[in-house]
Amino acid sequence: MPQDQEKMQQYQQIQQQMQQIQEYVEQVDQSIDKVKECSEAVEDLKDVEEGKEILAPIGAGTYAVAEIKETDKVVTNIGGETFEKRETDKATDILTMQREELKSTKEELQTQLQELQEEMQGLQQQLQQQAMEEEE
C-alpha cells in the first residue's frame, strides 16, 4: 500500500478517535451538570421545612407528591441497587468529590484530543509535502 494511503488511513482513524473522545467529553459534561444540580438540591434541602410537600421525580417527566420527613439526611446509591442514608453534609462532600473526578476525567480527555489534533496536523503536513513532491 502506498505511503500516502497509509497516512490517509491514519488520518481517518485519528478523526474517528477524536469524534469518540469528543462524544465522551459531552457525556462527562452532562454528568458534571447533573452532579452539580444534585449537590445544589441537597444544599437547598436544608432550607425546607420538615413535613412540607414536594414533587419528587420518579422518571420520564413523572412526579409523585411526597412529604419531607428529614431535611438533614438523604438516601444515596452506593453501588448497584444498594442505598445508604447519609447526612446532607456528607452527601454534599461525596458529590463534590464526584464532580472533581469528572472534571479531572474531562481534562485528561481534552489532553488526549489535543495530542490527537497535533498528530493529525503532522500527518496533514506530511501529506501536503508528499503531494507537492509528486507535482515536481
How many independent structural domains does the chain possess? 1
d(CA 22, CA 17): 9
Contact between 49 and 123 (Cβ < 8 Å): no
Distance of alpha carbon 112 from its chain centroid, rounded?
15
d(CA 133, CA 8): 17
pLDDT at 78: 84
d(CA 51, CA 65): 12
Q: ∠22-25-28 over CA atoms, to 5°?
A: 155
In a domain, 114, yes or no: yes
Give the predicted TM-score (pTM) of the model.
Answer: 0.79
Task: Encode pLDDT of 40-78 as tens digits.
Answer: 999 988 888 899 998 988 989 999 999 999 989 999 888
Q: Which domain holds residue 97?
A: 3-45+73-135
Under the banding of pLDDT at 50, 70 and 90, the label for residue 136 is low
Identify the CATH number of the domain in which residue 80 sits: 1.10.287.370
